[in-house]
Amino acid sequence: MKSRILLLILLIGVGSLNAKAQQLKKIFDDTEKQTSFMLDQVNQTKTAWLNDVQNKKKPEVVSPRTLTPDGKLVMVPAKDWTSGFFPGVLWYIYEFTGKEQWKEKAEAFTANLEKEKFNAGTHDMGFKIYCSYGNGYRLTNNTSYRDIIIQSAKTLSKRFNPKVGCIRSWDHNKEKWDYPVIIDNMINLELLFAATRLSGDSSFYKIAVSHATTTMKNHFRSDYSSFHVVDYDTLTGNVIKKTTHQGFSNESAWARGQAWGLYGFTMCYRETKNKAFLNQAEKIAGFIFNNPTLPKDLIAYWDFNAPNIPNEPRDASAAAVMASALYELSLYSTQGKYFRGIADKITSNLTSQYRSKIGENQGFILIHSTGSKPMNSEVDVPLNYADYYYLEALLRGEKLKNKKPLF
């Protein structure tokens, strides 16, 4: 009798795993159809752009980013901070399907970004290069990709100020900030960690650790919510002020900023095994998921302190980043089961309530993201980084279920 019960339990478990595998396959089948549709829209948009004489002296557009208010596709040049996400989407589709056609598309869109390896005017090197070339190298071991990653890390390192202990984020708005560092910059540290592994040059690692340590010290409040922008004095290294650029107010908790912090410190623990970074990630998660303004479906409003909740736009991109981070955090934390359960719920709700219908939204996968509400820019629209982190979260969840390494 006991053996029959055990067999029944085993069969139920296997059946549940098979059902989840089939569900994931269906999601990626839909993603392939939607992304094929997007590639058609990209070709049309790019052709029209090239044929417009007004664009002759402008940088060529290479990647889809979002939609205009009237639903037209917005494409951006390689220098745009989001240019690496669509190549990353293509790499993730290739990773799941193994189809050569997606590898070829990923290679083609990735190649458009190579010149950015020398662009020292931006801190967004990780977003652009690691999401594209980083995934490409992970999946193909293409040595030319490795060299581009290392050169990009060298370029990014030029923005590090040892007195401050951080990488400078922006060069614009110099009348507002002396040396601005934004919480988003935590994600770009992954490029530096990778460059140390690939080159043996520990200077990249030291810069990344310094930036993370300084950010942990100065960016967070006592409740472990994060400021968006911290401005430093380059002569003393002291903090001048703590503000926001995309959040509701200087004292509010901009949702995607909290997500960047969660993801960044989880990744930093992976690379350093410094338990202070793990504790920081756990505390950030505690702030997010115990927050009274977080909706029941766990898809955050654009700011946790936005004044008109529940009548505020959601940010599916923030939720996707959170889910992906939580799957990794579940590997390291004593609360692993809890964090994985939250990630499962977020990805399930994104899948069921925040996906575009096939053939709509110019081929983007997720809808209802918010770029910058204070500037009324990219509000309640699809965004390429929402798609990227959504697919990353799905793949991480699948690997965990099958007891496969995430990296």
Q: Distance of CA 159 to CAs 165, 219, 355, Å?
A: 11, 19, 38
For the chain, state the CA radius of gyration: 21
Q: In 3D, which of 258, 383, 240, 396 has the Cα closest to residue 324?
A: 396
Q: How far apart are alpha carbons 330 and 326 in whole angstroms?
A: 6
Indicate if 201 belongs to the active site. Answer: no
Residue in 52, 80, 124, 315 annotated catalytic: 124
Q: Which residues neighbour 269 within 8 Å (Cβ) at sequence distance 6 or greater? A: 275, 277, 278, 281, 332
DSSP SS3 for 146? helix
Residue with token string 């965004």: 383
DSSP track, 49-70: HHH-GGGTTSPPEEEEEEE-TT
User: Which long-range CB contacts under 8 A does 27-30 form with residues at least 24 apart?
Assistant: 27/351, 27/394, 28/93, 28/96, 28/97, 28/394, 30/355, 30/358
Q: Are strands 73-77 and 61-67 parallel, antiparallel or unpaired?
A: antiparallel
Q: In 3D, which of 270, 277, 373 has the Cα closest to residue 317?
A: 373
Residue in 29, 52, 80, 184 annotated catalytic: 184
Q: How far apart are alpha carbons 17 and 13 in whole angstroms?
A: 6
HSE-CB at 5 with a 13 A cutoff on CA atoms is 2
Indicate if 178 belongs to the active site. Answer: no
Please give the positions annotated as active site.
124, 184
